[in-house]
A = this chain, B = another copy of it.
Amino acid sequence: MSRFFSDKFNGLTPYVPGEQPKNREYIKLNTNESPFPPCEGVIRALNRDERSKLNLYSDPSASALVEAISSVYGVRAENIAVGNGSDEILAFIFNAFCDQKKGMAFPDITYGFYPVFASMFGVAHRVIPLDKDFKIRIEDYKDIKDNVIIANPNAQTGILLEKGDVEALILQDRSRLVVIDEAYMDFAGTSAVELTKKYDNVIAVQTFSKSRSLAGARVGFAIAECNLINDINTMKYSFNPYNINRLSIIAGREAMLDTDYMKSCVQKVIENREYTKGALEAIGFRVLDSRANFLLAESDTVSGRELYNKLKERGILVRYLGDRRIENFVRITVGNREQMDALIAAVKEILCECERKE
């Protein structure tokens, strides 16, 4: 820390992204990326002509991208805000709508960035434990006056909160904002986007990083009532108006418009998820009922940390989160079938090793 760092950041602990090792090639199952390349339209659209125009600023309103989202989701452009990944959108939301008086509430096991955003922007935050089965119990939010953010399906667990429960959460207290972080929703079920047309106290946040195979382009968006979107855009225009670069606007547009490709990727991921879940359960793992593109799994034979280390030695990276209540679990991104077979084979090997030792 320098001698100039502001006191207001005493105690700020930055987010730690999943490791991106450069020393060797891993089967990378640790950051919930898509195992499939972006759709062909993305690759083609970033042609020499577009690359040659990188001397010009991007469109701050990113209208080509916003129009594509608008047409696919059936909402108006004024109901859409776009960001440099959904992390930026989430940061704008924490900053715009929360402070010391109106805080943010979220589950104890969820996206690890929420407490960091709260700390970064001086937002009071309240942690609501998941139940013993790692589920969100909406009754626990009934008397919470703070705004609420829910990842749905939930980060780390993958468990889905059904649409009726999401609506009930919104209706519990209309003076409270409910943010639904739907990074993994394309793998799961019905988005809260429809609810944003009925209620002015809900924001649906989505990303291009998972189902649309564009983690490397950094594109995310929010859909909500237009005054909420205006406020998010006030943050953007007070922070970084050209927040999405030229090529990512084009890539995002193409990826949004190719719904068939997205759906085919999602279908394969779901098949591989269920296949992997079955294989892990067959060798004694407890695997949570994930509706996302990852699995949270634990075994009685090998600890989460050990499994992570032994997989890494074998060239397979999974995520060991180490958080309280899930310290024995590893989080495994669902990749393609070959990657899953390699994972399952390695896990079996490791279990045999551990059993021999006992």
Residues of A within 8 A of B (CB): 1-9, 12, 14-18, 20, 22, 28, 31, 33-38, 42-43, 46, 48, 51-61, 63, 84-85, 87-88, 91, 95-99, 102, 116-117, 119-120, 147, 177, 200-201, 209, 213-218, 225, 227-228, 230-231, 233-248, 251
Contacts and interface: CB of A to CB of B under 8 A. Distances in A.
Contact of A38 (B16, B52, B58): B52
The 5 closest A-B pairs by CB, nearest first: A14-B237, A216-B246, A2-B227, A55-B213, A120-B238
B85 A216 contact: no
B241 A87 contact: yes
A60 B17 CA distance: 8
A201 B4 CA distance: 8
Contacts of A97: 2, 4-6
Nearest to A90: B240
B46 A51 contact: yes
B17 A216 contact: no
A217 B250 CA distance: 12
B12 A238 contact: yes
Contacts of A6: 95-99, 102
A215 B120 CA distance: 28
10 contacts: A4-B97, A14-B234, A37-B52, A38-B55, A46-B247, A55-B216, A58-B215, A117-B238, A120-B239, A245-B245
Contacts of A117: 238-239
A88 B1 CA distance: 20
Contacts of A247: 46, 216-217, 245, 247-248
Contacts of A230: 1-2
Q: Which of A20, A31, A46, A245 has the most CB atoms of chain B within a 10 A radius of its CB? A: A245
A39 to B, nearest CB: 10
A246 B245 CA distance: 11
B17 A33 contact: no
Contacts of A215: 54-58, 242
B9 A96 contact: yes
A43 B147 CA distance: 45
A61 B20 CA distance: 9
